[in-house]
Amino acid sequence: MASFRRTLSPAYADRQYLNGSFSVSSPSHKLPSANAKYSSPLPALAAAFRRLVGGVFTRRHGRKGQWRRVAFRCFLCFFVGFLLGMSPFGHVAEDVRTHENSFEMKPPLPRASNAQQLLRKDRVLRNRVEEGFVIDPVSLSAEWVRQSERFDFAPRKPLIVVTPTYGRAFQAYFLNRLGQVLRLVPPPVVWIVVEMNAASMETAEVLRKTGVMYRHLVCNRNSTDVKDRGVHQRNTALEHIERHRLDGIVYFADDDNVYSLELFDALRDISRFGTWPVAMLAPSKNKAILEGPVCNASQVIGWHTNEKSKRLRRFHVDMSGFAFNSTILWDPKRWRHPSSNPIRQLDTVKEGFQETTFIEQLVEDESQMEGSPSGCSKILNWHVHLDVHNIVYPKGWVLQKNLDAIIPVK
């Protein structure tokens, strides 16, 4: 008859059974060796942990308890991973120690007064500007830039354009044309327009529409005693410049002349006195008369003239063919001007000599003049006589009857 031998269950591995002359016992009951007192307790703890895990994973469960076993294993793995993730490492502690050692406590500086702080900040900013550092006002960050790229801005000289005008048939056309030219000139530009006796509303309206900065002046001289209207109007503008100490280049631009933009660009290069040739179109002649300087580069060495009656003049220049620095009028010591009398145009001289008598008050000779442009080889403005006689000046420049016949629409 066959015999059956039951194997030992893992749950009862620690029991002892007598089998002849020897016994089977669990390894866990073995006595420690003589050197156990010198060994670490970690192996014993590891063995206990293995028995616990083995008992959990090898315990038999029914089908109804399988989900509990899976849930317990997942929870155990998550807990072990969480402990490993929270445990510190050696290099982290080293980094913390190095950062802790990098902190340094500095004693507080003595508090200075507000004035001393402002002086110190101003001195630092000046040193940075001299070295080429620029502080951005928005981001407050210092950056290195080239000196030529950052500090190459040169302010333009202001232009003071003086224009005498009076009521006539082409006045609106002349003022609008000159105003549109000045509108294209880069600022700063001040347009001084002078009228006789009273400032008309029509002229003021034209000046407002041009968009140019202007000053509308009035010459209060009695018109019956005026020999040359334009001379007194220009003197009114000169008095205004001298009284208010306007700093710029003064240019007499009559409203009936034609000007190029290049002329106004060249005016800003004038230091004391500049001159250039002017082409005059005479209505009684079929040719143009050139009047102005003959230049070698910017040095004036002669004069152009075609008028025999004007050859006695010292300087052969048209009224719109020169410009000068306004500081000569109110700061004569700067230019070593010998006379203390105010510089004005003279109405007692013969017609055609107002220009030369006025220039003689500004300069002594051609050595103090500057030819513009270099070589004086370009015509930058034209003196055109387009006056119309025997035409009634319309009030407000509005024509009530602009057509002789009116044809109604059928």
Pairs from 219-222 (Cβ < 8 Å, separation ≥ 24):
219/194, 219/195, 221/196
From 195, 355, 366, 370, the catalytic residue: 355
- In single-letter form, the type of residue at position 249 comes to I
The verdict on whether residue 269 carries a ligand-binding annotation is no
How far apart CA 142 and CA 152 sit, in angstroms, is 19
Q: Cβ-count burial of 284 within 10 angstroms (0-12 exposed, 13-18 middle, 19+ buried)?
A: exposed
Q: Which residues contact 161 (CB under 8 A, 6 or more apart)?
A: 182, 189, 190, 191, 192, 251, 253
Q: Where are the alpha helices (DSSP H) in 184-316?
A: 201-210, 229-244, 261-267
* Annotated catalytic residue 149: no
- What residue has token string 């040719």? 287
What whole-number distance in Å separates Cα of residue 165 and Cα of residue 309? 27
Of 108, 95, 254, 75, residue with least CA distance to 174? 254
Return the active site residues.
355
| Residue ranges of the binding site for Mn(2+) | 256
